[in-house]
Amino acid sequence: MPTLLASFYFFYFSIIGIYVIFLPKVLSMVHYTPSEIGIILAAAPLVRFIVPLFFMRYLSIDQRMFNTALLIMVFSAISFYFTIESFYSVLISNIFFGVGLSLVLPYLELIALYYLAKERYGKIRLFGSLGFIAVALLLVDHLDGAKTALLFLLILAIVTATIAFIISKNATLLHKEPKKIKNDIDLLRDWRLWGGFILMQVGFGSFYNFFTISVTDSGVALDTTIYLWSFGVVVEIAMLYTQAPLLKLNLLRVIQATTLITSLRWLLIYIAPSSVVLLFASQSLHAFSFALFHSASISYLFYLYAHRSLAQQLFSGLAYGLGAFVGALSSGFIYDHFPQHLFLVSSIITLVATYLFLTFKPSTSKTQKV
């Protein structure tokens, strides 16, 4: 099972690598405007925000739903390949692709956590980062047209779905009625905390959706851009291995510090979008702005609220769903009209997130471990 899970993470995040690194460039090759690219790429995070709301009230992720999600993922990847030149068709394909991705990973995470000890989970999960790097380094030498990247996407979707199906068939999950836990999460009371999480991901919108386009438009070669992406993942892996002592500190302070560092990261890209040295310096900060920030955030929520599962669902839906949606949509319009100021805007937005985290005060009854 560990080998199958490692393979799943490798190929699943290879898909994410194509989606994040190459799809914006592919859409640009087909002559979509930045605003249209922003709208298309905003669909998946919006789905990520909406889908969990249905599963909280009306649906459950079981084997039948999981198999349906696998089919949705594969068929939407097929439709990408054949409808790339039609804006509305690609938009619909991306919506369904987002539905598939948003359902497949959580179910496999349940299986992974069931079969793996928590100490071993991280080492298996790192195969996802390796897959992200591998597809980046491989595709950069073969990206001779839009259809090439989409063919890679289709093949990887089929491989990922096959491995995931095998895992689910051979896994036996214990389905127990969860204990009734009082919901102690008040979004209005803690709006500064949740607003900071959302704005942090809004700021990431320019990076995930327009970093490749922006730096190549500034004169940086595509292969160098891929090395920049890969370097960011390398420092992410390094941080995941060495972050344990940092997570023993005051977690809210860690969140504040990593958010401020992220604002500096976007500012470096704004100041010198064609300087390879400064771009690598900005990518080195990915260790803090993604790896350490994410670990500190989910750990902080784990201690802050009694309803831990709901807190994690809300973090995923609000930050990586709603925040990423707004970030993708807004970055497209900003790049369309003020391309040279895109990362300056991201830096300012992230600075506002830092302010919200700095001014957030948890209730005294919840501060003993955070």
pLDDT (tens digit, 9 = 90+) per residue, 211-225?
888 888 888 888 888
User: Same structural domain for residues 21 and 141?
Assistant: yes
User: Same structural domain for residues 273 and 370?
Assistant: yes
User: Same structural domain for residues 288 and 337?
Assistant: yes
Other Cβ atoms less than 10 A from the Cβ of 24: the count is: 25
User: Same structural domain for residues 16 and 133?
Assistant: yes
- The number of distinct structural domains making up the chain is 2
- What is the reported pTM? 0.73
* pLDDT on residue 181: 60
User: Same structural domain for residues 92 and 22?
Assistant: yes
Measured distance CA(147)–CA(81) in Å, rounded: 7
User: Same structural domain for residues 162 and 16?
Assistant: yes
User: Same structural domain for residues 170 and 195?
Assistant: no
Output the DSSP codes for 321-341: IIIHHHHHHHHHHHHHH-GGG
- Compute CA distances 265 → 64, 167, 189, 199, 223, whole Å: 43, 39, 30, 15, 21
Other Cβ atoms less than 10 A from the Cβ of 319: the count is: 24
Which of 176, 202, 229 is the endpoint of a domain? 176
* Domain boundaries, position 299: 181-370
User: Same structural domain for residues 79 and 163?
Assistant: yes
Which of 176, 194, 221 is the endpoint of a domain? 176
* pLDDT on residue 338: 86
Which of 147, 176, 205 is the endpoint of a domain? 176
Angle subtended at Cα 249 by Cα 243 and Cα 255, rounded to the nearest 5 degrees: 75
CATH number, domain of 121, equals: 1.20.1250.20
User: Same structural domain for residues 168 and 208?
Assistant: no
CA atoms within 13 A on the CB side of 133: 15
User: Same structural domain for residues 145 and 186?
Assistant: no
pLDDT (tens digit, 9 = 90+) per residue, 133-180?
888 777 766 666 667 778 888 889 999 999 998 888 877 654 444 455
* pLDDT tens for the 370 residues of the chain, in order: 788 888 998 999 888 888 877 788 788 878 888 878 878 877 777 777 787 666 555 555 667 778 888 999 999 889 887 888 888 888 888 888 888 887 787 677 667 756 765 445 556 777 888 888 888 777 766 666 667 778 888 889 999 999 998 888 877 654 444 455 666 778 889 999 999 999 999 999 889 888 888 888 888 888 888 889 889 988 988 887 787 788 888 999 999 999 999 999 999 999 988 899 999 999 999 999 988 898 888 778 878 887 766 777 778 778 888 898 888 888 888 988 888 899 999 999 999 999 999 999 987 555 544 5
User: Same structural domain for residues 78 and 112?
Assistant: yes
User: Same structural domain for residues 149 and 194?
Assistant: no
What lies within 8 Å, CB to CB, of 118 at 6+ separation is none
